[in-house]
Amino acid sequence: MMKRQALRVLAVVGLSGTLVTGCSGSSEDARRTDRPSASATSSSPSVERVPSKVQAAEKVKSAVEARLSADEARFGSGTNSPCSTSSPQVFTAKCEAAADATSGAADLALREIGGRQGFATLDSTARKVRAAVRTYGTLGCATGPTAANTRTACMEPAAVIAQGFPDLRSGANAGLLGK
């Protein structure tokens, strides 16, 4: 019984191989091999587009990274930022300078993207950073506000600014993946 099933499987596999490889030997088959297949011609344009998208993503990443590295070395980021909500400098000109640098990096990222597709994460992060910097400035956070409600309102944009450099870097990395 098992021998019969094994022979049946071999027969089916053998016939499948003949059908898949198309071994009919007709002159029509010979003519088809002279022309590129439809799949070969339709995939060529997408193959050409991929390198240009990759090049664009690498260009954006490189430009943004250079700016981020310089500004991050100068101002720090996260808990090392003067805009960290735990920093005594969060309500000073030092945080305002870091905010301006972070906003400048966000502006650079948006210019580098230039409306290209595949940078949704970087685009939304840059816009979020710019909005936080505007709010920080509008509230007068760098002038050492004394009103408790203003100080509290300054915390959210300050936190976004403090995390701005790493978030922009993550967005630029996501652009390499087309996100």
Q: Does residue 137 sit within a domain?
A: yes
Q: Does residue 5 sit within a domain?
A: no
Q: Does residue 88 sit within a domain?
A: yes
In the 8-state DSSP scheme, what is residue 37? Answer: P
Reply yes or no on whether the pLDDT at 39 is more than 60: no
Q: Does residue 72 sit within a domain?
A: yes
Tokens standing for residue 96:
């305002």
Total structural domains within the chain: 1
Tell me the residue range of the domain where 125 lies: 54-179
Q: Does residue 25 sit within a domain?
A: no
Percent of all residues in the chain with a pLDDT value above 90, rounded to a whole number:
57
- Answering whether pTM is above 0.75, one says no
Nearest to 112 by CA among 74, 39, 168: 168
Quote the radius of gyration of the chain (alpha carbons, Å): 29
Nearest to 95 by CA among 164, 150, 156, 141: 141
Residue 58, number of CB atoms within 10 A of its CB:
13
Q: Does residue 38 sit within a domain?
A: no
pLDDT tens for each residue of 120-132: 999 999 999 999 9
Q: Does residue 10 sit within a domain?
A: no
What value does the mean pLDDT of the chain take? 81
* Euclidean distance between CA atoms 168 and 106, whole angstroms: 7
Q: Does residue 44 sit within a domain?
A: no
pLDDT tens for each residue of 78-137: 999 999 999 999 999 999 999 999 999 999 999 999 878 889 999 999 999 999 999 999
